[in-house]
A = this chain, B = another copy of it.
Amino acid sequence: MQYQKITPIFLEKIKAIVGADAVFTDEETLINYNHDETEDLKYNPEVVVKPKNAQEISGLLKLCNEAMVPLTPRGGGTGLSGGALPVFGGVLLSMEKFKAILSIDTENLQATVEPGVITEEFINAVAAHGLLYPVDPSSKGSCFIGGNVAHGSGGPRVVKYGTIREYILNLEVVLPTGEVIWTGANTLKYASGYNLTQLMIGSEGTLGVVTKIVTKLVPKSQHSVLMLGSFAENESACAAVSAIFRAGVTPSALEFMERRGVEWVIRFDDIKFDLKDGVNAFLMIEFDGDDLDVIFKDCERVNAVLEAQGCTEVLFADTAQQKEELWRMRRTMAESVKSNSVYKEEDTVVPRAALPKLINGIKEIGGRYGFESVCYGHAGDGNLHVNIIKAGMSDEDWKNKLKDGIKEIFELTSALGGTISGEHGIGLVQKEFMPIKYSEVHLNLMRSIKQAFDPQGILNPGKIF
């Protein structure tokens, strides 16, 4: 695509649509919006625009579409695949003014919310009505719900409550050509033509700009119990994961953490934890429900499974504070590794019984390429985040050889029945690995869908493929 640069006249046209006070070209703002949480990537936009409603976005998209100016939508800027980076410059569309929770419908257990609402704020708002919106990525304190939709984000509760796909009922979307549609209906079931709601979820802002979101809600459980199982080996902890489900129980969270991740959060994040010798891996297992007796029965069943799988110690978090400390340890891990090492994060996912093969394979590949890794994640879903650490790798190898190692990791996930991202998306940083998973025919189908929505290719160009 041949994109056009933004001229002073074009800038005036933008101001005419959104108002001069919503348009920023100062250096400081451009720098603030030139990166997300993905490592090592910076792309300056030519202008940052902060519209306040769908109509303004429609005007903006029509304008950009006519002038062949690229436009990149951005949520909370917490992405880990570079999805919100304006690779070709142009307009950076920040959704930060879309902050309204428009309705919490306790009759239908639904809510309508704008995409710029911070996920945790939404979770808290519905919790005040005794309801649960269970999609809570680790970045929930700063990510936007619109970004979660765009990336098909997950979090620990997917294992019991399902992915974000099961909670998004309907979306108001501004198409790249400026038209506004609702993708579906506010219903739990929908068999009325191609499901554009589902197509939008995980499309990473390349098919349209979401301006309203209708979510399903479920009753919030009254109780939860959190257990922490210690293992001598990664492999036995990973093998315990599928054994837990085979026992017929469904935890509300089942997270894996490698010893090294725990060491880092203890060292850098002021988290108190008695890390014992000989313990090399942990499983955090949570059960929730309305009946404590039932929860304890499930815990007992899991306890027996853990013992049989070589778990050396099981700890119960008794108080709300203990629970929150353990969760904070898990949530802080990415940030901790990131702040204290040169690293790259990959988001592998496999059928859960393949986790032992996956983690052993990652370590074996690391051994051959000379990188180390800290692994943790939503093991209950087979979703393992791999933080690759530079460690003793030379700068040159890090720059030139690491890619081959990452490619091998993705080839492994793919061979195990998995894929190259479970919840972070493809964005900019995984797109070169797409051919591992997809044939050219398959990629061309995706490209034709993009073409159908965005014939000029102006919306979030350079992402996915």
**Interchain CA distance A108-B199 in the complex, whole Å:** 26
Type the 1/0 row for A283-307, where 1 means its CB is closer than 8 Å to any CB of B.
0000000110110010000000000
Of A20-28, A230-238, A244-252, A263-271, the one contacting chain B is A244-252
Q: Which residues of B contact A181 (CB under 8 A)?
A: 438-439, 441-442, 445
A219 interface hit (Cβ, 8 Å): yes
Q: Is the CB of B187 within 8 A of A418?
A: yes
A350 at the interface (CB under 8 A from B): yes
Q: Looking at the assembled complex, report how far the CB atom of A9 sits from the nearest CB atom of chain B, in whole angstroms.
A: 29
The chain B residue sitting closest to A444, CB to CB, is B452
Stretch at the interface among A41-49, A151-159, A274-282: A151-159
Q: Are B352 and A108 in contact, with the CB atoms below 8 A?
A: yes
B187 contacts A194, C-beta separation under 8 Å: no
With both beta carbons as reference points, the residue of chain B lying nearest to A422 in the complex is identified as B189
Q: On chain A, which size bracket covers the interface?
A: 35 or more
Q: Is there a chain B Cβ closer than 8 Å to A456's Cβ? A: no
A424 touches B201 (CB 8 A): no
- Tell me if A465 is interfacial: C-beta within 8 Å of chain B: yes
For A183-210 the 0/1 string (1 means CB < 8 A from B) is 0111111111111101101110001000
A407 interface hit (Cβ, 8 Å): no
Does A366 make an interface contact (CB < 8 A)? no
Q: Kindly state whether residue A446 has any CB partner on chain B within 8 Å.
A: yes
Stretch at the interface among A162-170, A309-317, A319-327, A331-339: A162-170
- Closest B residue to A107 using CB positions: B353
Report the copy number of this chain in the oligomer. Answer: 2
Identify the interface centre among A153, A175, A248, A426: most chain B CB within 10 Å of its CB: A248
The interface residues of chain B lying within 8 Å CB-to-CB of A422 are: 187, 189-191
Q: Quick check: is A119 within 8 A (CB to CB) of the other chain?
A: no
Output the nearest chain B residue to A424 by Cβ-Cβ distance. Answer: B191
Tell whether, in the assembled complex, residue A192 and residue B452 are in contact, meaning their CB atoms are under 8 Å apart.
Answer: no
Q: Which of B188, B290, B293 contacts A158, CB < 8 Å?
A: B188
Check A90 for interface membership: any CB of B closer than 8 A. Answer: no
Chain B residues contacting A383 (CB-CB under 8 Å) are: 187-189
The answer to whether B190 touches A219, judged by C-beta atoms less than 8 angstroms apart, is no
Q: Is residue A127 within 8 Å, beta carbon to beta carbon, of the partner chain?
A: no
Residues of B within 8 A of A417 (CB): 185-187
Asked if residues A246 and B107 are in contact (CB atoms below 8 Å), the reply is: yes
Q: Mark A335-378, 1 if CB is under 8 A from B, else 0.
A: 00000000000010111111000000000000000000000001
Would A130 and B248 count as touching, CB distance under 8 A? yes
- B199, A194: Cβ atoms under 8 Å? yes
Task: Find chain B residues with CB under 8 A from A353 CB.
Answer: 105, 107-108
- Complex CA gap A372/B414 in Å reads 55
Query: Quick check: is A227 within 8 A (CB to CB) of the other chain?
Result: no
* 8 Å CB contact of A195 from B106, B110, B201: B201
Interfacial residues of chain A within 203-227, with CB under 8 A of chain B in the complex: 203, 207, 218-219
Sorted nearest first, the 6 A-B pairs with minimum C-beta distance are: A448-B452, A107-B353, A185-B419, A198-B198, A189-B422, A186-B417
